[in-house]
Amino acid sequence: MGEPSGSGCQGASEGGSWDGAWRDWMTLAVRQAEKSWAEGGIPIGSVLVDGGGEVVAEGHNERVQTGDPTAHAEVVCIRRAGRRRDWRELSLVSTLSPCSMCSGTAILFRIPLVVVGENRNFLGAEDWMKREGIRVVVLEDPRCVELMERMRREKPDLWLEDIGEAGPDRPGEGPGAPSVG
C-alpha cells in the first residue's frame, strides 16, 4: 500500500526497487526548497507523485513570500495538484518531516506513502500518520539536513516562527522582537 502501483517496493533502508525513484523525487523536492530559500523563504520543498512514478505537483514553503501562515510546502504542493480522485494512489515527498497541519492534510486525503528527506532538525507528526495507516519512509538525505541546519543557523528567528515557537511570550525569538541580554 502506498507505493507506486506494481512496485513490489521495500523501504529505502531495505534497498527496495523504488529507492532510486524516491531519491530522484527528493532531488525535485530539494530544488523546490532551494527555490524558496533563494526567494528569502523557508527552505522546505515537496512533490506529489502518482502511482506510475510521474510527478503531478511541486511546491515549496511560501509563508514568508506570501504572508500566508498555511503556505507550507506540502500544503502548497497539494493545492497545486488540484481536485483529484486518485489521492489514495499518490505519494507525498517532503524535504522535512511534515508538521501536524501537513500531516493532517495527508491523512485527510488518505495519501498512503510519505517520503521524508530528514527528521533530525524537526520531527513532525510521523507517528500520527503511521497510526492512520500511512507508510512513512525517512531517507535522512544529507542535502535536506544541510538545508535545515543552514536555516536554523542563519535565520533562527524565522525558524522558530515557522515551527510556532516564537511569540510575545518568548522575547527575542520573534521577528522584530527586541533582543534579550
Residue pair 19/12 in contact (Cβ under 8 Å)? The answer is yes
Q: Which three cell numbers stand for residue 164?
A: 510556532
* Dihedral angle, C-alpha 44, 47, 48, 52, nearest 10 °: -150
To the query of whether residue 3 is one of the catalytic residues in this protein, the response is no
* Dihedral angle, C-alpha 139, 96, 120, 137, nearest 10 °: -30
In 3D, which of 82, 81, 88, 79 has the Cα closest to residue 110?
88
Strands 91-94 and 113-116: parallel
Among 58, 62, 74, 89, the active-site one is: 74
Which residue numbers are catalytic? 74
